[in-house]
Amino acid sequence: MKKLRMKDYINKHKTRFLDELFEWLRIPSVSADPAYENQVLRAAEFLENQMKKLGIDKVEICKTKGHPIVYGEKIIDPKAPTVLVYGHYDVQPADPIELWDSPPFDPVIKNDKIYARGACDDKGQVFMHFKAYEVMKECGMLNCNIKFLIEGEEEVGSTNLGIFVNENKERLKADVILISDTGIIANDVPSITVGLRGLSYLEVEVTGPNRDLHSGLYGGAVANPINVLCEMIASLTDENGHITIPGFYDDVLEVSLEDRKKMNEAPFDINEYKSALDINDVHGEKGYTSLERASIRPSLDVNGIWGGYIGEGAKTVLPSKASAKISMRLVPNQTSASITKLFKEHLESIGPESVKVKVTAHHGGEAYVTPTDFAAYQAASNAMKESFGVEPIPQRSGGSIPIVALFEKELGLKSILMGFGLDSDAIHSPNEHYGVFNFLKGIETIPLFYKNLNPN
Ligand code: BES
Ligand code: MN
Ligand code: MN
């Protein structure tokens, strides 16, 4: 049989590609909730099966202390470049479920978009790599060695993958890492992510009296932990949007004015931004644009806050406890460990005598910047230029993928963040979706990356 050209092959098989992805999306691989442990394993087994069907070698479900890692490789020529493809098959919890227009684990296509939890982050994007592999294999295009490393704990901090990487340096040897777990600016404005922020995530618990009190008998005379927690949180940023934790900015690597100017040339419409979010104004650190605030500057956000009575009607109570989950996005040269320490010390020091403050650290990770002046970046840039017909813009993102900095530290490898999602895909939110255009464009672009990486 004559080999089909790549685009014809994709066209001919796209319905099946989508059907296969849908089967995977139906498995609720929620890593955060222990109730889904078996589903996470099923999602790993689906992948194992897919990889075996594609003829990928050494396919293995690698057990960890948490959810497993799925590994496989195809070595075609020891002298050819080796690409390590990383992604994650775990997804965020689907709640609040009542806000989904269709069930999160029953994928549907509406307006040319695939609606399901994980459609974009990251199952849909990971699956592009396996379909791209199929395309390359069937069209006689395999020209690089490929190692696939797909984990099940990205959404919970990748701790066990960190251990796996440290223990498997030989197996993971490669020339570069390729990841599709980020986005582009717009479908007609392709971009390559060249920066990720780091993360420190903590939980604060404020304890007041040893029991809930009648707010009439005690209110005004005993510190209310919710009031205190709110005051403490409010004091963490000043009127200029600066974070007030002493030493917080000490290690921040400032971006040059020249680079900032270039960054702000990227298409960005503040009015569209506001109207898409239904907000009347933006907010943030004085002296920086919205694009900068959400990429090259650190930030602090409360992710959740609770305490007291939240049921129907009113209950007059002065609660014993209040808690909040707080995260900080970090930029290059800040380290998660030192920021976590500064935060903990600061919070404990500002707590008034009237309450007890307990701060617990969750996961963290370091920021990362991809250089644009090396061959693999050029290969990705030219691949996108060919498939989109426009040269992609290098752009730093505000999101985090903690393992990327660790890959560089442990394996000495740079990562190319060639993702195809859109900010409007509602990842982590109800009605997460991924464009069929983006899914197919990814499948078309990935083979071009390999072609450019090893042109001979
Ligand atoms: N894929 C995202 C990160 C992302 C999305 C980066 C879009 C850039 C653009 C990833 O799955 C994610 O959600 N990461 C978490 C960090 C993790 C430690 C929970 C995040 O950024 O909150
Ligand atoms: Mn992701
Ligand atoms: Mn995510």
Instruction: Walk me through the domains of the chain, giving residue ranges and CATH numbers.
Output: 2-196+367-453 (3.40.630.10), 198-252+298-365 (3.30.70.360)
What pLDDT sits at residue 255? Answer: 96
Q: How much is the mean pLDDT over the chain?
A: 97
What pLDDT sits at residue 363? Answer: 86
The closest of 175, 238, 424, 221 to 318, measured between CA atoms, is 221
pLDDT (average), residues 21-29: 98
Residue indicated by tokens 């083979």: 447
What residue ranges line ligand 1, CB within 6 angstroms?
121-122, 154-155, 157, 181-183, 193, 196, 199, 363, 365, 397, 399-402
What is the whole-number distance in angstroms between the Cα of residue 114 and the centre of ligand 1? 20
* Distance from C-alpha of 189 to C-alpha of 163, rounded to nearest angstrom: 37
pLDDT (average), residues 355-362: 97
Helix ranges (DSSP H) in 93-224: 123-138, 159-167
Which are the catalytic amino acids? 90, 154
> Among all ligands shown, which has an atom nearest to the Cα of 117?
3
What percent of the chain is predicted at pLDDT more than 90?
99
Give ∠ CA 241-244-247 in degrees, rounded to 5: 125
What pLDDT sits at residue 439? Answer: 99
Hey, how many other C-beta atoms are within 10 angstroms of the C-beta on 279? Answer: 10
User: Quick one: which atom of ligand 1 is closest to the CA of 397?
Assistant: 8
> What pLDDT, in 10s, does the model give residues 412-433?
999 999 999 999 999 999 999 9
CA-nearest residue, atom 16 of ligand 1 = 400
> What is the dihedral angle through the alpha carbons of 397, 402, 403, 406, rounded to the nearest 10 degrees?
100
The closest of 65, 346, 95, 93 to 202, measured between CA atoms, is 346
**Best substitution site from 29, 181, 432 to test ligand 1's pocket, by max atoms within 8 Å of Cβ?**
181
What pLDDT sits at residue 88? Answer: 98
Longest dimension (CA), the chain: 86
Given a cut of 90, is residue 2 above it in pLDDT?
no
pLDDT (average), residues 134-162: 97
What is the whole-number distance in angstroms between the Cα of residue 399 and the centre of ligand 1? 5
* Distance from C-alpha of 69 to C-alpha of 163, rounded to nearest angstrom: 11
Residue indicated by tokens 């600066």: 242
pLDDT (average), residues 61-73: 98
User: Quick one: which atom of ligand 1 is closest to the CA of 423?
Assistant: 7
- Residues 131, 50: contact at Cβ < 8 Å? no
Amino acid at site 355:
V
CA-nearest residue, atom 4 of ligand 1 = 399
Given a cut of 80, is residue 303 above it in pLDDT?
yes
Q: Residue 70: which region, alpha, beta or left (left: phi > 0; alpha: psi -120 to 50)? A: beta
pLDDT (average), residues 41-65: 98
Give the start-end residues of each E strand in 315-366. Answer: 317-318, 321-330, 356-365
The closest of 127, 100, 123, 160 to 39, measured between CA atoms, is 123
pLDDT (average), residues 4-22: 95
Given a cut of 60, is residue 1 above it in pLDDT?
no
> What pLDDT, in 10s, does the model give residues 271-301?
999 999 999 999 999 999 999 999 999 999 9
| Band of residue 266 on the pLDDT scale cut at 50, 70, 90 | very high
What is the whole-number distance in angstroms between the Cα of residue 436 and the centre of ligand 1? 21
* Distance from C-alpha of 396 to C-alpha of 291, rounded to nearest angstrom: 9
**Best substitution site from 160, 295, 401 to test ligand 1's pocket, by max atoms within 8 Å of Cβ?**
401
CA-nearest residue, atom 6 of ligand 1 = 399
pLDDT (average), residues 324-339: 98
Output phi, psi for 425, to 5 deg.
Answer: -75, -5
What is the whole-number distance in angstroms between the Cα of residue 88 and the centre of ligand 3? 9
pLDDT (average), residues 6-24: 97
Given a cut of 80, is residue 244 above it in pLDDT?
yes
What pLDDT sits at residue 199? Answer: 97
What is the whole-number distance in angstroms between the Cα of residue 182 and the centre of ligand 2? 7
pTM higher than 0.85 for the full model? yes
User: Quick one: which atom of ligand 1 is closest to the CA of 158?
Assistant: 18
pLDDT (average), residues 198-225: 98
What pLDDT sits at residue 165? Answer: 98
pLDDT (average), residues 236-244: 98
CA-nearest residue, atom 9 of ligand 1 = 182
> What is the dihedral angle through the alpha carbons of 332, 336, 340, 342, rounded to the nearest 10 degrees?
-40
| Band of residue 57 on the pLDDT scale cut at 50, 70, 90 | very high
> Among all ligands shown, which has an atom nearest to the Cα of 401?
1
User: Quick one: which atom of ligand 1 is closest to the CA of 156?
Assistant: 19
Amino acid at site 12:
K
What pLDDT sits at residue 3? Answer: 60
pLDDT (average), residues 295-321: 97
CA-nearest residue, atom 7 of ligand 1 = 182
* Distance from C-alpha of 319 to C-alpha of 402, rounded to nearest angstrom: 36
User: Quick one: which atom of ligand 1 is closest to the CA of 401?
Assistant: 14
Q: Give the total residue count for the chain.
A: 456
